[in-house]
């Protein structure tokens, strides 16, 4: 079984609930059949961006040549914009993060972290793990105070992010 788990969901700098922080942070662990593929809780990774980027991989591959966003596990995603054509969120951050390939192969998905660290799972396992992780992040938002972006420019971007996240979670049941 594939699992994608958030480690210690939190707001930046471990504040109890800072409504001006629009990004969920924490560590990440990905395991398959008791084998740890990725585990990093060394910094405040931007798991809200990770959730959206992984949900995008339900419909398309992610690779350096064809990314669904930035790193799948970005250090930060401090700029949120709305794409004028699609209405989707554009999340921009620094060049730091952890990335891996997600490649669809018929009814399977290859998850490749490089250096021989890869695994193949059924498409349904990938969908289930990604949706479970996305719901965990969405639930954290729902249990917290409403977010109030500091920058007026960020209001539309944050709204686009939450809208896309919710829409992809709703439509994910038919993804496999």
Q: Is residue 133's pLDDT more than 80?
A: yes
Q: How far, in Å, CA of 95 to CA of 18, rounded?
A: 25
pLDDT band at 154 (very low <50, low <70, confident <90, very high): confident
pLDDT band at 175 (very low <50, low <70, confident <90, very high): low
Nearest CA to 54 out of 2, 126, 139, 113 is that of: 126
Q: Is residue 174's pLDDT more than 70?
A: no
Based on the number of CB atoms within 10 Å of its own CB, is 123 exposed (0-12), middle (13-18) or buried (19 or more)? middle
Q: Which residue has the higher pLDDT, 27 or 153?
A: 27
Q: How far, in Å, CA of 54 to CA of 91, rounded?
A: 13
Q: Is residue 110's pLDDT more than 90?
A: yes
The mean per-residue pLDDT over the stretch 132-149 comes to: 95
Would you kindly state where each structural domain of the chain is located, as residue ranges? 2-170
The pTM assigned to this predicted structure is 0.95
> Residue 168 phi/psi, 5° resolution?
-65, -35
Q: Identify the weakest region by mean pLDDT among 24-28, 60-64, 76-80, 132-136.
A: 76-80
Q: Is residue 103's pLDDT more than 90?
A: yes
pLDDT band at 62 (very low <50, low <70, confident <90, very high): very high
Percent of the chain with pLDDT over 90: 78
Provide the mean pLDDT of the chain: 92
């Amino acid at each position: 079984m594939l699992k994608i788990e958030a480690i210690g969901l939190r707001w930046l700098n471990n504040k109890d609930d800072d409504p001006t922080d629009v990004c969920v942070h924490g560590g990440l662990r990905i395991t398959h059949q008791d084998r740890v593929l990725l585990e990093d809780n060394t910094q405040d990774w931007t798991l809200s961006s990770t959730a959206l980027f992984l949900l995008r991989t339900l419909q398309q591959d992610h690779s350096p040549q064809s990314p669904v966003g930035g790193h799948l596990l970005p250090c930060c995603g401090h700029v949120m914009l709305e794409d004028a054509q699609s209405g989707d969120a554009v999340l921009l951050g620094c060049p730091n993060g952890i990335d891996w390939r997600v490649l669809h192969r018929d009814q399977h998905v290859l998850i490749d972290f490089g250096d021989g660290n890869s695994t193949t799972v059924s498409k349904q396992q990938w969908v289930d793990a990604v949706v479970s992780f996305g719901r965990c992040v969405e639930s954290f938002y729902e249990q917290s105070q409403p977010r109030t972006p500091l920058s007026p420019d960020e209001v539309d971007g944050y709204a686009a992010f939450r809208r896309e996240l919710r829409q992809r979670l709703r439509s994910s049941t038919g993804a496999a």
